Structures are given as C-alpha cells and as structure tokens.
Amino acid sequence: MKLSFVIPAYNEEAYIGECLESIFKETKGKKYDFEVIVVNNASTDKTAKVASSFKGVRVVNELKKGLVSARKAGFSASSGDLIANVDADTRLTYGWIERVLLEFKNPKLTGLSGPFIYYDLSKKHKIMVKFFYCYAYSLYLLNRYIFNRGSMLQGGNFVVRREALKKIGGFDDKHFSFYGEDADIAMRLHQTGIVKWTFSFPIYTSGRRLAAEGLFTMSSRYTVNYIWVTLFGRPFTSKVIDVRFKGIKNKYLHIRPINLRKELLSSILDAVVIFGFLPVVVPVMTGYLLQNLVKIIFKQ
C-alpha cells in the first residue's frame, strides 16, 4: 500500500522542517512506498522554501486559505492508497508508519486516528489534556458503539483509505474551514466501514493553540463542535484565531501558567451552549439508539 502524507501549511516556516525530518527519520532504511506533499496554503513567509529544501517533498500551492481547502488540494494531488493527514507542527512517533500499515491490513478499516502528545506544554497542561482525552474517548465510544451515529478522528493525526474518502465525496470545504472537519469526515466514513480511534496511535504536536486560547476554552469548543456536527452536520464555530507568528516559534509556550478562574470565565459561553443543548442531544441520541435496536431485533 502506498502512503501519501498530506501536510497543510500556512506560515509554518518555524515548524514544517521538524515535521518533515520526523517523517524521513521514520522512513530511513525502510522500503516504504510513500510520498510527501506539503500544501503551501497562501503563506507569506518561507514555508514553501523550507519544504522544497527537502529531497522528495512536493510542494502544492493552494491560494484559497483554510485547513480543509488545503487538505482537499493535497488529496487531489496525492496518489496513495492511504492518505496520512498530519499538521505542519506535528512529529511522528516511533513506529507510527508501521502501525498504519498494520492496522490497514483490515480491509474494513476506513479511518485510523489517535491522540496528540504536546511536546512543548507544561506538566500541568499535559495532565489536564489527559483528562480531556478520557472525556473525549467516552463520547467516541457512545457515538460509535451505542448510538452508531459516527466516530472520532483527531485532526492533524488521522489516516484514511483513499477509496473510502472518494466514496463519501472527499473533504467538504464548502461548509467546513477548520472546526468540525475531523468530526465530519469521521461521521461520513463511519457509514462506509470502521473508523478507529486509539490511544496507541499518538503523534507529537505543538500546544501553541491550547496555550494561546486556554485549555478549558479549547476543550469546550471542540466538544460543542463535535456534538453540533454529529447532530446537524455543520460546525458551530466558524471564527479561527491565528496562532502562527512569523519568526516566533514559542510566543505563548511555557510563559502562561494555568489560571483556572480566568480559563473558566473565558469558556462560559461554550459551556452554556453545551449544557443548553443537552435537552436536544439526549432525545436525538436516544432516538438513534432505539432506531438501531429496532434494526437489530428485526434482523434477528
């Protein structure tokens, strides 16, 4: 199976080099069939120049700014049986590619994903991130195994089968630009086969967005968008804060301690939305559950 790495990159000159190095480190001495595509997404810095300096990397220019537009352009330019969607600030963990090839020996598997390991956050942040992942994993289990509505993919660390992605119509850049794009792909792929999320498939990444916006704000925002996409097929949040700063790699990292009061206050709106829609979420999800139970009973 050929593996295509698709890496969206908007003003990522400070990170893209280490991402590419991690890929070639994992492939060194191995007879993998792979390609690496960096999508230069309207960058104004030296992203394209840095990426082009790596032998074997193909740079594709996409002028329409947006994460999903970049993923779509990379997918169109790729030729692999498997599409590895990683972000410019990620680094592969040891054995990442081996795990992909092993998992996709299962012909029913259409998507594979796992968590982030934030290499540049404080220990306190990392501990709180683990609690969030436990919570997110419970939502994944309910959504996939109980309600059978969808699944979960971690944007920036997911691999999909090419034919399955083509079957569902590819990336939806009409309705998604950043938030909810992974939940959308997971939900649609779930209808074609198995979409698996596992803690044993991690990838390293920068915690710059969490550090810049706050862990509570980000966790509640991702939660509400996951629920919104699951129920309505659209993202709740459209505005995206740019955390990329030319020439400044660690503008936020290690300098902002956790302030629980401030973080909680900043996420009140998201929390209100989440709890406010529980009366909607519970009946709808219960309906999906009953619908699946009826199907099971009549099949038997």
Q: Report helix, strand or coil for 248.
A: strand
* pLDDT category of residue 237 using cuts at 50, 70 and 90: confident
Residue pLDDT, tens place only, 51-77: 999 999 999 999 999 999 999 999 999
Q: Any idea what DSSP says for residue 15?
A: T
Instruction: Enter the pTM of the model.
Output: 0.83
> Does residue 253 carry a pLDDT above 70?
no
Percent of the chain with pLDDT over 90: 60
Q: Do 114 and 157 meet the contact criterion of CB atoms below 8 Å apart?
A: yes
Token pair recorded at residue 158: 């997911």
∠ CA 98-104-105, nearest 5°, is: 95
Mean pLDDT of 86-97: 97
First-to-last C-alpha distance (Å) of the chain: 37
Lowest mean pLDDT among 39-48, 167-176, 238-247: 238-247
Residue pLDDT, tens place only, 19-34: 999 999 999 999 999 9
Residue pLDDT, tens place only, 195-231: 999 999 999 999 988 888 777 778 778 888 898 898 8
Element of type H or E holding 113: strand 109-113
pLDDT of residue 275: 52
Distance CA 182, CA 135 (A): 17
The string of DSSP codes covering 150-212 is -----TTEEEEEHHHHHHTTS--TTT-SSTTHHHHHHHHHHTTSEEEE-TTS-EEE--HHHHH
Distance CA 230, CA 92 (A): 29
Radius of gyration of the chain (CA): 19
Token pair recorded at residue 105: 């020996």
The structure tokens 């999909």 sit at 160
Residue pLDDT, tens place only, 120-167: 888 888 888 888 888 888 888 888 888 888 999 999 999 999 999 999
∠ CA 190-192-193, nearest 5°, is: 70
pLDDT of residue 238: 83
Domains of the chain, earliest start first: 3-299 (3.90.550.10)
Token pair recorded at residue 246: 């030319």
Distance CA 187, CA 172 (A): 12
